[in-house]
Amino acid sequence: MTPQRRRLSLIVLVSAILFVAIISICWFNYSTAVKHEAHMFYAIEEGASRESVVEVLGPPSEVRPCGDNLWWGKDADYRGKNDGRCVTEERYMHFLGAFGIGYSAGGKVVSKYEYISE
């Protein structure tokens, strides 16, 4: 193998290692942030004010009307049909999912749901 070819092989190898290292660091930072956000999401209690939620999670990514059903966390905790208690849902979007918080007309938490692969 010629010296030029060795140098090129070394450059390609080092570049590949750096690429994998950078991607790994980015993924670790992202997953740590999402885990922290999930922990804060699950700590939100029913009846909490919108202001207290925004203080913890920050401003939402999206605001929309509530859906037809009420949830508390995941699919296992179905709270029944939305009888008008939930009027606004604020979503906190992240890669492949979102956290949704439903509020009453008075700005109190009445529903929350973790969307997966949204």
Kindly state the average pLDDT of the residues 38-43.
83
Span 31-47, mean pLDDT? 80
What does the alpha-carbon distance between residue 105 and residue 108 come to, in Å, rounded to a whole number?
8
pTM of this prediction? Answer: 0.72
Mean pLDDT of the chain: 88
Higher pLDDT, 111 or 94: 111
Taking CA atoms, 36 is separated from 65, 72, 77, 111, in Å, by 26, 19, 22, 20
The pLDDT, as a whole number, for residue 74 is 82
Please give the structure tokens belonging to residue 112.
Answer: 């929350």
**pLDDT (0 to 100) of residue 33:** 63
- Taking only the tens place, the pLDDT of each residue in 48-86 is 999 999 999 999 999 999 999 999 988 888 999 999 999
Binned at pLDDT 50, 70 and 90, residue 38 comes out as confident
Give percent of the chain above pLDDT 90. 48
Instruction: Please report, for the chain, the start and end positions of each structural domain, with discontinuous segments joined by +.
Output: 3-116
Instruction: Label residue 29 by pLDDT band (50, 70, 90).
Output: low
7 contact partners, CB below 8 Å, separation of at least 6: none
